[in-house]
Chains A and B, each alone.
Chain A
Amino acid sequence: MAPLDELFPRDREWQPPALTPDYKTSVARSPSYPLLSLQNSVSETTGPVFGHDMLGPLDNDLLHNYATPGESAIGQRIIVHGRVLDENSRPVPGTLVEFWQANAGGRYRHKKDTYLAPIDPNFGGCGRAITDDEGRYHFRTVKPAPYPWRNWVNNWRPAHIHFSIFGHAFAQRLITQMYFEGDPLIWTCPIVKAIPDDRAIGQLIAPLDMNATVPLDTMAYKFDIVLRGTRSTLFENRLEGN
């Protein structure tokens, strides 16, 4: 049997813990017993593969993928681009990246969202892309607005875009949120602050990227994503007696 491409263990001091009481919903939705640590087997080191045939031509253009032909979503036009890398700085090619967000008023197109801001008839709020050979992805959208949510009496989420990334192993599966450089709400948000280390929070803040901006057209933000790295087996870990 071929040796496994084992993953670097997840750094649980870098990742948010399950229980973060200031984010109230986590209190009843966090396991009270510790996670049981597993060494990887094929169930963790393999994962699903998605082909380009899954994607439609407008899947990475949120300005138009739900708009009436000839119209466009309302809001500040932005490009979001970046690379998916692993902890060894190697690109992760051919992986599915999905994203979803509120509109330019802070309203989601979801039957459970009842915020006052209006639905934009030309904005769905979701898209997807598959990374190229260098791990790159990009999409076009409007900048989402902050919106209020029920936690303390007066909480507002910083503007954010949700990301879902697969990688090549099921144990790399990740969901996160991208924030925008300069947003003062980032440092007030109990969901953001579920992450214990400010340097880790910094990893979620996309800088304005003037080099990728299209003059007279669209501003750009750069957001790189790092998935768990794999290690080559230097010496096989053997059971006693083998």
Chain B
Amino acid sequence: MQPLDYQKETPSQTAGPYVHIGLAPGAAGFDIFEKNFCPNPASPTAAGEHITVEGLVTDGTGAPIKDVLIEVWQAAPNGAYVDAPTADFTGWGRIVSDFETGEWSFDTVKPGPAEGRSGHGKMAPHITFWIVARGINIGLNTRMYFEDEAEANAADPVLNLIEQQHRRATLIAKRTERDGKPVYRFDIRVQGDGETVFFDI
């Protein structure tokens, strides 16, 4: 028999407690690079509905994971993923939590509905999350959907894959307003009561 000559993916290891040194040195407490990454996928001058997304990541005991690092990836307001970032919109953000409280937040514009897999129609607007921290051996993937998109959420091919209907709510951010700006609250429970649905993508 011929051998299959594929390589194996490099195994993941935890990002560890000092992930900020490499990925967000400002948060680790020092200044080294001329240009640093921004937590916000869109600038204040980008076209679209400007929103804040915030939340807390908690562990199986209910305690906040204060050293979490999150990256997000999202479509533009027209539903397309950008293949070339502009000054106004990259679609990507890297977010560090507050070390004292674990609270995190970022500012962006609301994504539009992106094309689903062939024949599935549009997906409901969502933001893809990747979560790493000490104790997480391989990054956790999930999606955040929007409470005020009930009709699109009901038709979303990914939300509909979740067999236990009440668990779909773990992916839907609650909308409030603060100083006239929409704020979406997206708490992520890594384990235990109300555990967030995570994906093998």
Residues of A within 8 A of B (CB): 1, 3-4, 8-12, 14-18, 20, 23, 25-33, 35-44, 46-49, 53-56, 59, 65-66, 85-89, 98-100, 108-113, 124-126, 128, 162, 164, 170-171, 173-177, 191-192, 194-195, 199-201, 203-204, 225-229, 236-239, 242
Contacts and interface: CB of A to CB of B under 8 A. Distances in A.
Contacts of B161: 36, 38
Interface of B: 5-23, 25, 28-30, 32-35, 59-61, 63, 65, 67, 71, 73, 75, 81, 83-85, 90-92, 99, 114-120, 123, 126, 128, 130, 132-141, 143, 158, 161-162, 190-192, 195-201
B137 to A, nearest CB: 4
A170 B11 contact: no
A79 B161 CA distance: 47
Given A15-B9, A48-B73, A194-B137, 20 more contacts: A9-B200, A14-B9, A16-B11, A20-B137, A26-B137, A27-B135, A29-B60, A31-B195, A47-B73, A65-B32, A66-B32, A100-B21, A109-B30, A164-B15, A170-B128, A174-B10, A200-B8, A203-B8, A203-B10, A204-B13
A176 B11 contact: yes
Nearest to B28: A110
Contacts, number: 261
Given A87-B9, A194-B137, A226-B7, A28 B60 contact: yes
B111 to A, nearest CB: 10
B12 A15 contact: yes
A29 B33 contact: no
A28 B63 CA distance: 9
Contact of A43 (B118, B143, B200): B143
Interface centre among B123, B138, B192 (most CB of A within 10 A): B138
A234 to B, nearest CB: 14
Contact of A112 (B13, B18, B85, B192): B18
A38 B158 contact: yes
Contacts of A27: 60, 135
A38 B199 contact: yes
Contact of A16 (B29, B85, B132, B138): B138
Contact of B83 (A25, A49, A112): A49
19 contacts: A1-B118, A8-B6, A8-B9, A18-B137, A23-B135, A26-B136, A27-B60, A30-B190, A35-B141, A36-B197, A40-B117, A43-B75, A47-B73, A47-B92, A85-B7, A109-B29, A113-B17, A125-B22, A195-B11
A169 B95 CA distance: 19
Contact of A4 (B25, B117, B143): B117
B117 A44 contact: no
A26 B59 CA distance: 10
A197 to B, nearest CB: 8
Contact of A59 (B33, B61, B73, B162): B33
A33 B65 CA distance: 19
Contact of A32 (B18, B126, B132, B192): B192
Interface centre among A109, A199, A237 (most CB of B within 10 A): A109
Contacts of A28: 59-61, 63, 135, 190-191
A97 B139 CA distance: 16
A109 B22 CA distance: 10
A227 B10 contact: yes
A35 to B, nearest CB: 4
